[in-house]
Structure 1
């Protein structure tokens, strides 16, 4: 398989980047069909190369073992977090914004980046909607709450959960990369405060509307349901009945099936137990999760040839990548793992990219946690941190952007966001690479 098989995936990424910019109305009504077209082209190229049965097996594997669990978890968190209503007189001041971003960053490793983002994005939007300059607040929210904050536990970000399912200890990232994560998060918050204060000073002085309303949280039953989601994930990882259903060569494990059914049941409970007025006051709609589901279905299908070429190692079209992350004596280059994992996570989605480099580094969890801890830390940080570079690097990114746009905030385009996020993050990642406090990132 050669590089032309990756063209449908590249076409889909370009469509996501340019569609809303060049033909927004057409894109909004037909994005699902456009994603499906690129996915069908990718499948067609595979049929011509390997035949219909092999293509069908690859499609089933991608949808059942990768996409299904991904979208069900995302759906459950979106529905449950969307039932939590935070009200009160929160003003979009630099202090209040920094406080919400800091809170979300801490929450992300506990309730997941999707959960934290869905709980806090609507209060943040309502607080900043009166401001003339507010898009930068959501951009930093995506970077911190939807990405960097999830680096300290498998519950935080999908790549780390993938590692947990493959044998990495639950608290390994907490022990290993807490300092690097704290450095990145604190510096990002400091940069945000500088930018937000500068923007806030150019705003007109708001009039006094009387004493602010006290902050209240409604729909508290959904906090219990978020705990149930976390419990379902942990239970599915601990319970190994050894029962699987074979579908065209793909093993559908019973624990995975049970977890998905439990997550759907929890989402249904949230809809049933949450008063409709809470979701209405939140501006809750199904469109953001519908858009993510359709676009990422196309991504997970169109990426099949790309992942196959990467998995081919020295025999594939990306043999140069394996050489780039490995020194001549066979030892891994941690800096190369960090940057390649990160930059590919930004455009290939960070969960499958993490798994790819995890396997590329040998795939043995005990070896990676001990003798090769620097390599695993580099892969983990690259996947989580650099997922913030684009809207498609991590699923909550696209969802937050969609919710913000729905509520009247003029979000930057795909390339506009990439330019803003890159201008902030790339210098920080270079600093992280060179800092003596981060010796796990080093050249061999």
Structure 2
């Protein structure tokens, strides 16, 4: 009781600090125009921790990454509370958790659990042709079952197929490029930015028709580069033959846990439901509007997760090398990312009134016309380090925010925003949700994955030149 009273007194004293930021509804609301670039420092330190600690202190990081994540979140929240008041800090924290983090992690948990219950039996041999076919299949599936769903479904079979290979890091890296990112280009089901566009009024198949050619162009380049690279490494390894590898294996090719394929359709249905069903029922949690359709989606996803655990044979999951560490790691790291990222997103949303006004001004020409090249690169580069979904929404609104107009006269601009958000999520481990999970699963299977900066060396050397070609051809 004493603590509650003290908290009330502190909140009352600090509340005037947020009077300038009151929303029309009467609740506190952060005005990003009032934030300087210094507020982004905790987020930058969070990213540097992910990049540096696994290299300099791997054992310490493995044991304490959750504490480090929360430390940087508090490094933002404590000064923010002192400066702007308890009311605004509580609102922004609840907003980030209820509307962004919890839906994000619940969806990942469902896809991770369901896809992890499907086991490909028998033996695939990781030859360059087989590996390339797996990448192509995963890329094709990603637009219809989500990049996370496709990645979680195929990463373990791919790793098992290449268990005998000496060089396999490049295979996982290209898997992240293609299956975990670029493959999600064709529908709102593929990647969260496109789903946000769908909620804003972009037609479901608009992305299919307009993103198909840029996606095929990009995928053709990357799969071609991968096939040549894997052939080179395969030759260096002495080209191991399938006969020698299959001699001790009598298990036939097939699928275990087929019920999870039905549950996967349930996950897709739950996500679609939240975008197409509008009961206009909202629950306010300290001024944060939690809509019934989104709450229903999250409950359905948790039920589906429970059904997958109940209906899938435990022995099959063990043979599928399933464990909970990847989702635990993502959950702990991304709560720090989502909270420390609050000021960065607010500054971006402030547009020309914010600290990043110079960045926003780059997308508009002297005569007020949109500069598609800059929309592509700025959306993409910011999506590489920030959550690509809100970044998409920022530039969607910067371009006018009218879906009908953007799909018509400004179709090239909407294409630039869409392609930038989806394609360049592959530039870093944190650019898109499944990137980190794929890395974690690969490391759990004994693959020594590149560091944060090491992975960026791969993306800078391969993806950036590819995106330069995409720029010249399409924008």
Other-structure match for 1:21? 55
Alpha-carbon distance between aligned partners in 2 of 1:205 and 1:362, rounded to the nearest angstrom: 55
The answer as to whether partners of 2:142 and 2:150 remain within 8 angstroms in 1 is yes
Other-structure match for 2:121? 87
Other-structure match for 1:331? 369
Alpha-carbon distance between aligned partners in 1 of 2:388 and 2:362, rounded to the nearest angstrom: 19
Give the total of aligned pairs: 437
The answer as to whether partners of 1:129 and 1:409 remain within 8 angstroms in 2 is no
Other-structure match for 1:422? 460
Other-structure match for 1:241? 279
* CA positional deviation for 1:362: 2.0
Alpha-carbon distance between aligned partners in 2 of 1:169 and 1:234, rounded to the nearest angstrom: 13
- Does the C-alpha gap of structure 1 residues 100 and 174 become closer, same or farther in structure 2, counting only changes over 3 Å? same
What per-residue deviation string (whole Å, max 9, x for no partner) do you get for residues 268-295 of structure 1? Answer: 0000000001110111111100111111
Alpha-carbon distance between aligned partners in 2 of 1:205 and 1:168, rounded to the nearest angstrom: 48
Other-structure match for 1:384? 422
Q: TM-score, normalised by structure 2?
A: 0.90
Alpha-carbon distance between aligned partners in 1 of 2:346 and 2:126, rounded to the nearest angstrom: 47
Q: Which of 207, 210, 230 is equivalent to 1:176?
A: 210
Alpha-carbon distance between aligned partners in 2 of 1:48 and 1:313, rounded to the nearest angstrom: 25
Name the SS of the counterpart of 1:245 in structure 2.
Answer: strand
* CA positional deviation for 1:205: 4.6
* CA positional deviation for 1:171: 0.9
Ranges in structure 2 where 5+ consecutive residues have no aligned partner: 1-34
Q: Which of 149, 154, 160 is equivalent to 2:183?
A: 149
Q: Which of 389, 393, 399 is equivalent to 2:431?
A: 393
What per-residue deviation string (whole Å, max 9, x for no partner) do you get for residues 297-329 of structure 1? Answer: 111100101111111122210110121111122
Question: Aligned ranges for residues 55-134 of structure 1 at < 5 Å?
Answer: 55-134=89-168
* CA positional deviation for 1:214: 3.5
Name the SS of the counterpart of 2:384 in structure 1.
Answer: helix
- Does the C-alpha gap of structure 1 residues 327 and 205 become closer, same or farther in structure 2, counting only changes over 3 Å? closer
Q: Which of 306, 314, 337 is equivalent to 2:352?
A: 314
Alpha-carbon distance between aligned partners in 1 of 2:252 and 2:208, rounded to the nearest angstrom: 35
Name the SS of the counterpart of 1:241 in structure 2.
Answer: coil
After the TM superposition, list the runs of 4 or more consecutive aligned residues in structure 1 that deviate by more than 4 angstroms: 209-213
Name the SS of the counterpart of 2:290 in structure 1.
Answer: strand
Other-structure match for 1:44? 78
* CA positional deviation for 1:114: 0.6
The answer as to whether partners of 2:107 and 2:301 remain within 8 angstroms in 1 is yes
* CA positional deviation for 1:210: 5.0
Alpha-carbon distance between aligned partners in 1 of 2:59 and 2:470, rounded to the nearest angstrom: 41
Name the SS of the counterpart of 1:347 in structure 2.
Answer: coil
* CA positional deviation for 1:209: 4.3
Q: Which of 257, 261, 264 is equivalent to 1:223?
A: 261
Alpha-carbon distance between aligned partners in 1 of 2:144 and 2:95, rounded to the nearest angstrom: 30
Alpha-carbon distance between aligned partners in 2 of 1:51 and 1:136, rounded to the nearest angstrom: 48
Q: Which of 364, 373, 398 is equivalent to 2:402?
A: 364
The answer as to whether partners of 1:125 and 1:404 remain within 8 angstroms in 2 is yes
Q: Which of 302, 318, 321 is equivalent to 2:340?
A: 302
* CA positional deviation for 1:48: 2.9
Alpha-carbon distance between aligned partners in 2 of 1:50 and 1:369, rounded to the nearest angstrom: 40
Other-structure match for 2:230? 196
What per-residue deviation string (whole Å, max 9, x for no partner) do you get for residues 166-190 of structure 1? Answer: 2211111001110000010111100
The answer as to whether partners of 2:123 and 2:246 remain within 8 angstroms in 1 is no
* CA positional deviation for 1:206: 3.2
* CA positional deviation for 1:374: 1.2
Other-structure match for 1:341? 379
Alpha-carbon distance between aligned partners in 2 of 1:389 and 1:314, rounded to the nearest angstrom: 26
The answer as to whether partners of 1:46 and 1:305 remain within 8 angstroms in 2 is no
The answer as to whether partners of 1:154 and 1:160 remain within 8 angstroms in 2 is yes
